Structure 1
Amino acid sequence: MFLDVVDLRSFYAQPLGVVTRRILGRAVRARFADVQGLSVLGLGYATPYLGAFREEAERCIAVMPAAQGVVRWPSAAPTLAALADETALPLPNASIDRVVAVHLLETTPDAAEMLREVWRILAPGGRLLAVVPNRRGVWARLDTTPFGNGRPFSRGQVVRLLRETLFTPVGWSEALYFPPVSSRWLLRTAYAWERVGGGLSLPFSGVLLVEATKQLHRPVLVRRPAFSQVLEPVFGQGVPAS
């Protein structure tokens, strides 16, 4: 079930949301470090993380699910955001080079169908960056943030879902090691939590970031023949004379 876009915007306007955007934005940017001349699409509620790509990408647009709602983005320029069904995107085949999906996989009713639509619009060699709540993290257990709503994922679940929809995972990151608490003192220590958690590769991050590339060929299933027994000829038995 999708969160309302008003609630998402309200979260990112609060001090906890501001720190979340800065820390997670660095992780997103680290995975898509070079988008020079590429087309970038943000899906779900990805606008807090798209600003870093606007000046570098050939074009950068956002599509928000119809069940969620849409807000104007950017606020002080011609709008680059649209409202659409996430399983029927109003984009041509193979027209996008990079997709950033945030607040989407865990809330969409049919994640597999949505990923098949992303596969359709991605160009050959295109890449998807999916940001999902970590099932083992604290953020997925508290519904005080958007990451505590919907279905959290383990690494194995994300891998299976991507492979079933013809994507190959090629890179992983984790972020949001600090607890989702609005204490000012705790927020001041958030960057220290990130350094320690990332440096020690602790398994309790708030979110998983998985980068996947589009497979160009559908795997072919090899089926056994209906009759697997091999029949061998029998010699020495002639046809009786008439």
Structure 2
Amino acid sequence: MEMRLKGKTCVVTAAGQGIGAATARTFARESARVWATDVDAGKLDALKGIESIVTRRVDVLDKAAIGQLASETGAVDVLFNCAGFVHHGTVLDATDEQWQFAFNLNVRSMFWTIQAFLPGMLEKGGGSIVNMSSAASSVKGAALRFIYGTTKAAVVGLTKSVAVDYVSKGIRCNAICPGTVQTPSLDERISALGGGADAKQFFLQRQPTGRFGAAEEIAALATYLASDESAFTTGTVNVIDGGWSV
């Protein structure tokens, strides 16, 4: 066990799989106390029994549930906002229902979690908020990602606004912008395009490294931003995309 997060209490949303699960595990290995949450309680079963990880079913679309979690955890040191959904299509494909769902999950949930956990951080005199954005549209245009890219660009604005408002209070707020990462979410998107080599190649072709990122690689960046090693870092857009945006 490492010690980079020793003494810190961390909340991770969407911790049931992919980047969220990898980050919860990494935080725990770095000696943090981790509250791992997900809307699907069954997906959290793999984290149960890991020392210093507490699992809770939380729907980040439910403001009251977020408030209840904040009451239970007390003041925390790190908030990692990882929940999100990827819609496929152009502006002409988008529906009002998809637009509303994406903004609720990808953006408003962060607004709610930050409102819930920031007061405790302020009382403690510091804290780190890490928001999951994306290289898609927030850094460069991505084909067939109209709704998703718009929401992730909004996350960058949200991040910078929180960072500048609270930099003098010891609060840091940073965004992570991954490229294409091998996760169950990616598997679902590949399947939605028909599966097979052609569908996989649709995503792989935009990665100059010739491979997808690993969830553990994103978790490593999240750990740095959560730790005191990044004490001079706030309001930043951290691109980790295998050269996609170069």
TM-score, normalised with respect to structure 1: 0.47
Of Structure 1 and Structure 2, the greater strand share is in 1
Of Structure 1 and Structure 2, the greater helix share is in 2
Larger Rg: 1
TM-score, normalised with respect to structure 2: 0.47
